[in-house]
Structure 1
């Protein structure tokens, strides 16, 4: 019976593995998955509680001596309501496993199966990974992240700006720009947003005239050992236009810097000439003025 259960689990999930003593289960988005939990005695009259770890614990499924979330118990989290069931005919063999239907990205995470009243408390840990499956135009599965979209965003004085976008990736990937020689290029800080458990990421870089006009945006998910990329070729004319613009502006600035000192020197010389002319004119006017008449008082003093 246990062998049958594990074969059934493998057929539903895609893979089952061990990590640090915990079960790790992977399943494609939209399929069903069984989270295994069992002990060596009947659980028909026992209490077991399934919860999902996160910012706060979420109630997934609780069974208490015949009562459970599907027949009267309350407080099940809205995320799992109507999608979780157990195996009543297997409970006498100690099977407390649950089945989650129509898995979603947000179902990914760490789960605990807890028996609080057995042997002072027993807890089993299971990690679930729900993998979104993307398909290319031919309908073939292309991995856990769609191929990135690469475009020319703008042409500026600094060079040609390239933009790489990834929509709806999970888990969160890393993006980087490379040239055709495999060199990693400097890029701006990535813009990252998250919605419904999926990541939307944009990464921009500015390229200048180099030995290559081919550039590649690489998207990597290290946890899955998965990588995909898209390549864009930049016309040499864009580099020429950018460089020409910079060169023209540089020439104008250079001319301005060369003309300004000459103009300033000429202005000083003109000012000096005007000042000398003014001084000479003032002196000449003084020389042409008639001498003042001696006072009568001075003349009478000699009589």
Structure 2
């Protein structure tokens, strides 16, 4: 393998398209590929091949593969039997291999190892000879048969029972459906799918069953590319008899208020008390996966944790034998604000409680500045930053009466905290003092600043007088310096030129 010096990736992309547009397609050879899409399973290998017609040696030609779906055209190129790696896409390095057994007859192939979901899509095989080229396209279909679905049942409710079917590791997006014992399709309440960091799909489908007396329900996950599926069945009467079905999960009765930067504590417990050591405990936001925190068999499962909570969580298990667990989230952020669900699960049955977390930020003390004066009007601007959630802004006069703002601008910074700019137009000269107060609606706390128009006018007048005084002092000093200089000059002249009336001249004969 050789690298071409000074050959950047962006330059390679631009050069590639320029060459592609200026090249002439050959009239004396063409390129063909497979007639049907190439099917490859995730984790397996795939072979992409193409052939010159009429058959002839391609030893002296430049041959390249490219995949436009990923945004970079060049996958791998070969010039005079040498691989060019400088322009090769990073994700394919050490994962592809040239197969040249038939290159003397114009046949080349590219073997791709450990197929990933990102490999899915259209590929092109191109032969170039001088200014002439020929190419063909190939379609690689990547498919992944994920894990068998797992059916979770929430404990008995008045409206029946809620079932949640989950599965991971599927590609592309699978189809999910429910059936009863007779094979009749059941309508799901909701369905959710998300891709993980590896590009594989996690699915979550919810079903509510009204009659829990004698229901057997199945959940199936179907791969449309492979035409294969996996299923699971649950017997509701059996699950109703399990230990957890008779328990409840209790969370905080009131919303938890935590200031930005402080630590969060989310506590849930079983009622009546029960040992939770052998249970799966999961804190989630809107869906079961990915989780805020997952505890299974005494260990923290990091593989299912949301990226924004990695390295920020710890579990307090001192009272786990009584069914009480506390999740700690370090250094609260505005993005942590919202509802959490605490799930205890055993033998496919789960119970949950909701926790409402309110993140609050008390911003800086407001600063009032006078923007300008036009036609006797005064515009004041009140600014402050570091508030969450959106604060309330009020202007008041000396009697505490509200004065409507001329305008307000609220913006959120990169950390989600609000910056406030409130403007007040003062047209009544009788208004002497105004107060700007900014309050947090959740904390019930506020910060304020007072601005005195009379003081600002006095300050302005004193500044004018000070400037005039300085000007007069400087002018007086200059005049005195000029007068003193003139006097000194006259004295010097008197010393140099003698008085003729008093000078005697002696003449000798």
**TM-score normalised per structure 2:** 0.37
**Alpha-carbon distance in 2 for matches of 1:238, 1:85:** 56
Q: Which residue does the alignment assign to 1:181?
A: 182
Corresponding residue for 2:208? 206
Residue aligning to 1:38: 51
Q: Secondary structure at the match of 2:125?
A: strand
User: Are residues 66 and 148 of structure 1, via their aligned partners in 2, closer, same or farther at CA, if it must alter by over 3 Å?
Assistant: same
Matched position secondary structure for 1:102 = coil
Query: Any residues of structure 2 matched to 1:53-64 within 5 Å, and which?
Result: 53-64=68-79
* Aligned counterparts of 1:101 and 1:238: Cα–Cα separation in 2: 47
Contact 1:29-1:102 at 8 Å conserved across structures: yes
Q: Does 1:65 align with 2:64?
A: no
> Quick check: 1:22–1:127 contact (8 Å CA) kept in 2?
no
SS in 2 for 1:86: strand
Residues 1:88 and 1:215: Cα distance change in structure 2 (over 3 Å): closer
Find the counterpart in structure 2 of residue 259 from structure 1.
Answer: none
Instruction: Give runs of aligned pairs for residues 14-29 of structure 1, distance below 5 A.
Output: 22-29=35-42
Structure 2 partner of 1:82: 94
- The 2-side partners of 1:52 and 1:22 are apart by 18
2:345 aligned residue: none
Count of residue correspondences? 207
Q: CA deviation at 1:148?
A: 0.5
Q: Describe the shift of the 1:118–1:170 C-alpha distance in structure 2 as closer, same or farther (beyond 3 A).
A: farther
Distance in 1 (alpha carbons) for counterparts of 2:192 and 2:228 = 21
Map 1:159-198 to 2 at 5 A: 159-195=160-196, 196-198=198-200
Report matched runs for 1:83-122 at 5 Å. 83-88=95-100, 90-117=102-129, 121-122=133-134
- Distance in 1 between residues matched to 2:140 and 2:117, nearest whole Å: 10
Residue 173 of structure 1, CA deviation: 1.0
Which structure has greater strand proportion? 2
Residues 160 and 238, structure 1, Cα contact 8 Å, conserved in 2: no
In structure 1, runs of 5+ residues without a counterpart are 1-19, 133-143, 240-303
Question: Corresponding residue for 2:221?
Answer: 219
More helix per residue: 1 or 2?
1
Task: Report if the CA contact (8 A) 1:26-1:131 is conserved.
Answer: yes
CA distance in structure 1 between the aligned counterparts of 2:239 and 2:168, rounded to whole angstroms: 31
1:42-53 pair list within 5 angstroms: 42-53=57-68
> What's the RMSD between the two structures over aligned residues?
3.0
Give the superposition deviation at 1:224.
1.7
Shift of 1:111: 1.4
Whether contact under 8 Å (1:60, 1:84) holds in the other structure is no
Report the CA distance between 1:58 and its aligned residue. Answer: 4.6
Asked if the contact 1:213–1:236 (Cα under 8 Å) also holds between the matched residues in 2, the reply is no
Unaligned residue ranges in structure 2 (runs of 5+): 1-32, 242-509
Q: Secondary structure at the match of 2:107?
A: coil
For residues 229 and 101 of structure 1, what CA distance do their matches in structure 2 show? 30
Shift in CA distance, 45/237, structure 1 to aligned 2, threshold 3 Å:
closer
Tell me how far apart the structure 1 counterparts of residues 87 and 224 of structure 2 sit (CA, whole Å).
Answer: 37
Partner of 1:147: 148
Taking structure 1 as reference, are residues 55 and 104 closer, same or farther at Cα in structure 2, changes over 3 Å only? closer
* Bigger RCO (CA 8 Å, 6+ sep): 1
Instruction: Return the offset for 1:114.
Output: 1.7
CA contact (8 A) 1:38 1:96 kept: yes
1:130-158 superposed Cα distances (whole Å, 9 cap, x missing partner): 444xxxxxxxxxxx232100010343332
Distance 1:118 1:179 in 2: 66
Q: CA deviation at 1:64?
A: 2.4
